[in-house]
Amino acid sequence: MSTVVDIRNLGVSFSTDAGAVKAVEDVSISVERGEVLAIVGESGSGKTVTAKTILGLLPETATTKGAVVLSNREGTRESDVISISKQKLRDIRGTDVAMVFQEPSTALNPVYTVGWQIAEGLQAHSDMSKKEARAKAIEILGRVGIPDPEVRVDHYPHQFSGGQKQRVVIAMALVLDPGLIVADEPTTALDVTVQAEILDLLRRCRDEFGTAIVLITHNMGVVADLADRVAVMYQGNVVEQADVKTLFAAPQADYTKALLAAVPYVGHGTVRAAERAAARPTNWTDQPPVVEATDLEIVYPGRFGRAGFRAVDGVDLVIRPGEVLGLVGESGSGKTTIGRAIAGLTKVTGGSLKVLDAEMNGIRERQFRPLRSRIGFVFQDPASSFNPLLTIAECVAEPLVIHGRAKDASSARARVNELLEAVQLPRAYGDRYPHELSGGQRQRASLARALALEPELLIADEPTSALDVSVQARVLELFAELQREFGFASLFISHDLAVVDLLADRIAVLYRGRLVEEGTGTEVLGSPADPYTQRLLASLPVPDPVAQAERREELRRLREAE
Amino acid sequence: MTAASVTQAPPRRRLRDRLPVLHQLRQSVGLQRGMLVAGLIMLGVFILCAIFAPLIAPYGFAQRADASGSFGTQQPPSPEHLFGTTVGGYDVLSRVVFGSQTAILVVIVAVTLSLFIGVALGLYGGYFGGWLDKVMVVVFDAIYAFPSLLLAIVLSIVISGGQSSLWGGVLAAGGSIIVVFIPQYFRVIRAETVRIKAEPFVESAKVLGASSTRIVFKHVFRNATRTLPLIITLNSAEAILTLAGLGYIGFGIEPTAAADWGYDLNKAQSDVTSGIWWTALYPGLAIVIAVLGIMLVGESLNDLADPRLRARRRVSQASGQVAETSVVPGGTLTAGPGGIDGLEDGETFDEHGIEVKR
Amino acid sequence: MSTLDTVPSTEDLPAAGRPKPKSSGGGFGRYLLVRFLLIFPTIFILVTLVFFLMRTTGDPITAAQGGRLGPEALAELRAAAGYDRPIIVQFLEYLGQIVTLNFGDTLTTNRPVVEVLATYGPATFELVFYSLIVAFVVGIPLGLFAAYYRDKPQDAVFRVLAIYWYAVPIFFAGLILKLIFSVWLKWLPVAGRASVGAELQMQALPNKTGFYTIDALMTGNPAVLGDVLAHVVLPATALGLLTAGIFLRLVRTNVIGTLATDYVDAARSRGVHEYRLLRKHAYRPALIPIITVIGLQIALLLSGAVLTETTFEWKGLGFILVEFIESRDYVAVQGIVVLLAIIVALTNFIVDIIAAFIDPRVRY
Please write the tens of the pLDDT for every residue from C90-131.
Answer: 888 888 888 877 777 777 777 888 888 888 888 888 898 899
How many structural domains does chain A have? 2
Domains parsed from chain C with CATH numbers: 28-99 (no CATH), 114-363 (1.10.3720.10)
CA distance A190 to A195: 6
Q: Is the pLDDT of residue B313 over 60?
A: no
Same structural domain for residues A290 and A152?
Answer: no
Is residue A393 in some structural domain? no
Reported ipTM: 0.79
Task: Select the residue from C148, C149, C264, C270 to test the A interface by mutation, using most A Cβ atoms within 10 A.
Answer: C270
Cα–Cα nearest to B342, from B316, B319, B324: B324
**Contact between A450 and A478 (Cβ < 8 Å):** no
Q: What is the pLDDT of residue B341?
A: 28
Phi first, then psi, for residue A157 (nearest 5°) are: -50, -35
Q: Give B193 to chain C, closest Cα distance, Å.
A: 15
Q: Domain check: are A274 and A134 in the same one? A: no
- Percent of chain C whose predicted confidence (pLDDT) is above 90: 1
Question: How far does CA A281 lie from the centroid of its chain?
Answer: 38
User: E strands of A109-187, at which residues?
Assistant: 180-184
* Farthest-apart Cα atoms in chain A, separation: 79
Question: pLDDT by residue (tens digit) across A386-421?
Answer: 888 888 999 999 899 988 888 888 888 999 998 998
In chain C, the percentage of residues whose pLDDT exceeds 70 is: 89
- Give the residue from A557, A545, A555 showing the smallest Cα distance to A225: A545
Q: What is the pLDDT of residue B257?
A: 73
**A171 within a domain of the structure (yes/no):** yes
Would you say residue B240 has pLDDT above 70?
A: yes
Interface size, chain A vs chain C, as Cβ–Cβ contacts under 8 Å: 162
- pLDDT tens sequence across B103-138: 888 888 888 888 899 999 999 998 888 888 888 888
What is the pLDDT of chain C when averaged over all its residues?
A: 78
pLDDT of residue B327: 28
In the 8-state DSSP scheme, what is residue C278?
Answer: I
SS3 C25: coil
Give the domain CATH number at A347: 3.40.50.300
CA distance A319 to A456: 11
Q: What b/e string do you get for A307-335 counting C-beta neighbours within 10 Å, with b at 16 or more?
A: eebbbbbebebbbbebbbbbbbbbbbbbb
Give the residue with greater pLDDT, A338 vs C88: A338
Please report which confidence band the pLDDT of residue A303 belongs to, taking 50, 70 and 90 as the band edges: low
Neighbouring C-beta atoms of residue C46, cutoff 10 Å: 24
pLDDT in tens, A85-102: 888 888 888 888 999 988
Q: Is the pLDDT of residue B53 over 50?
A: yes
How far apart, in whole angstroms, are the C-alpha atoms of residue A354 and residue C146? Answer: 59
Average pLDDT over residues A431-458: 88
- Of A58-67, A244-253, B58-67, the poorest mean pLDDT is in B58-67
Give residue B1's pLDDT band: very low, low, confident or very high (50, 70, 90).
Answer: very low
- 3-class DSSP state of C136: helix
Q: Which of B139, B249, B292 sits opposite C306 (nearest CB)?
A: B249
- A294 Cβ neighbours under 8 A, 6+ residues apart: A316, A351, A352, A353
Please report the pLDDT score of residue C1 as a whole number: 33
pLDDT above 70 covers a percentage of chain A that reads 98
C53/B147 Cβ within 8 A = no
Instruction: Give the pLDDT confidence of A138-181 residue by residue, as tens digits.
Output: 999 998 888 899 999 999 998 898 889 999 999 999 888 888 99
Residue A77 falls inside a structural domain:
no
In this structure, is residue A127 part of a structural domain? yes
E strand residue ranges, A107-211: 180-184
With respect to residue A282, please indicate whether it lies within any of the assigned structural domains.
yes
CB count, 10 Å around CB of A427? 13
Number of residues in chain A: 562
Contact B136, B186 (CB under 8 A): yes
Same domain, A340 and A479: yes
Q: CB distance B35–C159 less than 8 Å?
A: yes
Domains, chain B, with CATH or none:
22-305 (1.10.3720.10)
pLDDT of residue B161: 62
Q: Is residue A280 over pLDDT 60?
A: yes
Residues in contact with C79: Cβ distance below 8 Å, sequence separation at least 6, in sequence order: none
Q: What is B76-123 written as a DSSP string?
A: PP-SSSTT-B-TTS-BHHHHHHHHHHHHHHHHHHHHHHHHHHHHHHHH
Q: What is the mean pLDDT of chain A?
A: 87
Instruction: Establish if A466 belongs to a structural domain.
Output: yes
- In this predicted model, what pLDDT tens digit does every residue of C258-273 receive, in sequence order? 888 888 888 888 888 8
| pLDDT confidence tier of residue A458, bands split at 50, 70 and 90 | very high
Cα B257 to Cα A435: distance, rounded to the nearest angstrom: 54
Q: Is B8 on the interface with A (CB under 8 A)?
A: no
Tell me: do A163 and A276 sit in the same domain: no
Residues A337 and A472 occupy one common structural domain: yes
- Is A172 part of a structural domain of the chain? yes
Q: Which of A159, A177, A195 is the last residue of a domain?
A: A177
Highest mean pLDDT among A130-134, B163-167, B349-353, C331-335: A130-134
Range of the domain at A518: 270-387+454-542
Mean pLDDT of B192-216: 87
Residues A304 and A163 in one domain: no
Triad A168, A174, A176: Cα angle to 5° = 125
Chain B's closest residue to A186, CA to CA, is B334
d(CA C228, nearest CA chain B) in Å = 20
Name residue B233's amino acid: T
pLDDT tens per residue, range A9-66: 999 988 776 677 888 888 999 999 889 999 998 877 888 889 889 988 888 778 888 8
Contacts of residue B134 in chain A, CB cutoff 8 Å? Answer: none
Task: Compute chain B's Rg from CA coordinates.
Answer: 25
Candidates A407, A468, A405, A409; CA nearest to A440 is A468
* Residues A136 and A278 reside in one and the same domain: no
**Residues A475, A345 share a domain:** yes
Return d(Cα A366, Cα A363) in angstroms, integer.
Answer: 8
If you ran DSSP here, which 8-state letter would residue B71 be given?
-
The stretch B36-62 carries a mean pLDDT of 84
Amino acid A17: pLDDT: 66
Q: How far does chain C reach from its first CA to its final CA, in angstroms? A: 28
Cβ contact (<8 Å) for C265 and A161? no
Q: Does C313 have pLDDT greater than 90?
A: no
Domain boundary among A119, A142, A177: A177
- Whether A486 and A375 map to the same domain: the answer is yes
Query: How does strand B69-70 pair with strand B65-66?
Result: antiparallel
- Is pLDDT above 60 for A241? yes
| Nearest residue in B to A341, CA atom | B207
- H-assigned helices in C190-221: 196-203, 212-219
Which residues, at least 6 apart from A142, have a Cβ–Cβ distance to it below 8 Å? Answer: A149
C350 near B CB under 8 A = no
Q: Cβ of B338 and A379 within 8 Å?
A: no
What pTM was computed for the model? 0.78
Q: What share of chain C is helix, strand, coil (3-state, %, to 5)?
A: 75, 0, 25
pLDDT of the residue at A227: 92
Residue A489 within any structural domain of the chain: yes
pLDDT at B315 over 60: no
Instruction: Write the pLDDT tens digit of every residue in A61-88.
Output: 788 888 898 888 777 788 888 888 888 8
